[in-house]
Amino acid sequence: MKFMHTVALVAAFSTSLAVAQEQRGEAKASVAGKAVAVEYGRPSLAGRDMLGQAKAGTPWRMGSGSPTSLKTEADLMFGAISVPKGSYVLTAVKGESGSWSMIATNPDSKAKVAEVPLTSTTLKESVEQFTIEVMGKGSDGEFSLMWGTAKMAAPFTGK
């Protein structure tokens, strides 16, 4: 009985430690007067080139640990690409040419709702810990992710 209690205690501690070590981040903005939020894991580079190691065509979860989630009270338009208000799982995929796209997936059906091309730029300073930002001004917004010297972004409007 004492052994089982010890095993349960160790398992609970290990699970708590793993959750505590997983750093999570949240990016929030108001767009068209409505909330847009992304919740994601924040891994560190630790000397690696993680984006450079990504294989073309293979989805990347945009962070670590639990899936990256988007919750939006606004209908979002990334150019002609629509992401209706709701909750989504976000991933990214690297194209054959090295370009990136963000994929919004319905968390229940796993169906792809939208694939949004991201524009890549090079940052002057390296970002050690993976960072997602959502910025809003009126009905305009920008989604961006940064890691190392890479910044990938997409402007959008909200309704």
Rounded to the nearest 5 degrees, what angle is found at the Cα of 23, between the Cα atoms of 20 and 27?
135
Quick: pLDDT tens for 80-110. 999 999 999 999 999 998 899 999 999 999 9
Q: Is 12's pLDDT higher than 90?
A: no
- The structural domains of the chain, with segments of one domain joined by +, span 23-158
Q: Tell the residue number behind the tokens 């709702």, with chain if given.
A: 113
Summarize the confidence of residues 7-13 as an average pLDDT: 42
What integer pLDDT is reported at residue 21 of this predicted model? 58
Q: Is 15's pLDDT higher than 50?
A: no
DSSP character for 58? -
- 108: tokens are 């229940």
Please list, in sequence order, all residues whose beta carbon lies within 8 angstroms of the beta carbon of residue 42, skipping any fewer than 6 positions away: 23, 24, 25, 63, 64, 129, 130, 131
What integer pLDDT is reported at residue 8 of this predicted model? 41
Q: Is 43's pLDDT higher than 60?
A: yes
Nearest CA to 52 among 147, 153, 133, 126? 147
Q: Is 3's pLDDT higher than 70?
A: no
Length of the chain: 159
pTM above 0.85, yes or no: no
Residue pair 56/137 in contact by the 8 Å Cβ criterion:
no
